[in-house]
C-alpha cells in the first residue's frame, strides 16, 4: 500500500545498519521518527476506514441474506396457492439477491484480507517506531556523554596544571607553618605553666628544711 512507501527503505535495509552508517545518526533518526509518525497516523486512519467498510459489508450481506430467505418463503407460499406470477417474481428477486450476495461476499473477503494486511503493516510500523525511539535515546546518551568528556578535556587543558600544583604546595607549606607555630606556642605555654607551678614548691621545701633544722637545734639545747 502507498502509505508505507516512505519508510520502505528502512524496513528493507534494516534500521541498525542504516543508522550505524550515517554521519549524523541522531539528526537522521529524528527525521525518520517524524516521517513514521505521519505514516502511522495515515495507517491508523486507513485501518479505521477498513473496519468501517467491513461493518457496512456485513450489514449489506445480512440484509441480502434475509431478502433471499424471505423471497424463498414468499415463492413457496405462492406455489402452494397456485399464484404462478407471484411465485415467479419472488424467485427472480431471490436469484437477483443471491447474485448480489455472492458479489458482496467476495468483496467482503477481499476487504478483510486488506484489513489484515494493513493491521500487520501497522504493527510493523509501531515496532519500527519503538525501535527508533530506543535508538534515539541511545544516541542522545552517547552525545551527552561525548559532550561531557569534551567539556572535561577542555577544562583540563585550558588551565595550567603546574601552576595549580605549585599553588597547592604553597598552601600546604603555609598550613604546615601554622601547625608548627601552634605546636610551638602550646609547648612554650606548657613550659611556662610548669615553671610557675613548681617555684612555690621549692620555696616551701626550703622553709620545711629550715624549720626542721631549728627544731633539731632546740632539742639539743634542752
How far apart are the C-alpha atoms of 15 and 111, rounded to whole Å? 31
Residue range of the domain that includes 221: 162-222
Number of structural domains (the chain) is: 2
pTM of the model: 0.54
Residue 103 or 219, more confident: 103
Whether residue 202 has pLDDT greater than 80: no
Query: Does 102 lie in the same domain as 13?
Result: yes
Query: Does 82 lie in the same domain as 10?
Result: yes
How far apart are the C-alpha atoms of 66 and 72, rounded to whole Å? 10
Asked if 26 contacts 139 with a C-beta cutoff of 8 angstroms, the reply is: yes
Whether residue 59 has pLDDT greater than 60: yes
Final residue before a domain boundary, out of 120, 141, 158: 158
Instruction: Using alpha carbons, list the distances in angstroms from residue 193 to 125, 168, 172, 197.
Output: 90, 37, 31, 6
Predicted local confidence at residue 29, as pLDDT:
79
Query: Does 148 lie in the same domain as 63?
Result: yes
Query: Does 79 lie in the same domain as 184?
Result: no
pLDDT digit string, tens, across residues 82-98: 999 999 999 999 999 99
Amino acid at each position: 500500500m502507498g502509505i508505507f512507501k516512505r519508510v520502505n527503505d528502512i524496513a528493507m535495509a534494516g534500521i541498525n545498519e542504516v543508522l550505524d552508517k550515517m554521519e549524523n545518526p541522531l539528526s537522521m533518526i529524528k527525521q525518520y521518527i517524524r516521517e513514521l509518525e505521519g505514516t502511522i497516523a495515515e495507517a491508523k486512519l486507513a485501518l479505521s476506514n477498513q473496519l468501517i467498510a467491513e461493518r457496512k459489508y456485513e450489514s449489506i450481506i445480512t440484509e441480502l441474506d434475509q431478502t433471499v430467505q424471505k423471497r424463498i418463503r414468499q415463492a413457496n407460499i405462492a406455489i402452494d396457492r397456485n399464484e404462478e406470477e407471484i411465485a415467479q417474481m419472488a424467485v427472480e428477486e431471490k436469484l437477483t439477491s443471491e447474485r448480489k450476495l455472492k458479489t458482496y461476499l467476495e468483496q467482503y473477503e477481499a476487504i478483510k484480507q486488506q484489513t489484515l494486511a494493513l493491521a500487520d503493516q501497522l504493527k510493523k510500523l509501531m515496532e519500527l517506531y519503538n525501535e527508533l525511539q530506543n535508538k534515539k535515546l541511545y544516541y542522545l546518551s552517547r552525545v551527552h556523554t561525548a559532550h561531557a568528556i569534551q567539556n572535561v578535556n577542555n577544562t583540563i587543558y585550558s588551565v595550567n596544571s603546574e601552576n595549580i600544583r605549585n599553588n597547592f604546595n604553597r598552601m600546604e607549606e603555609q598550613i604546615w607553618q601554622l601547625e608548627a607555630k601552634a605546636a610551638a606556642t602550646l609547648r612554650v605555654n606548657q613550659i611556662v605553666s610548669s615553671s610557675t607551678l613548681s617555684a612555690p614548691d621549692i620555696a616551701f621545701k626550703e622553709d620545711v628544711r629550715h624549720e626542721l633544722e631549728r627544731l633539731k637545734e632546740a632539742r639539743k639545747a634542752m
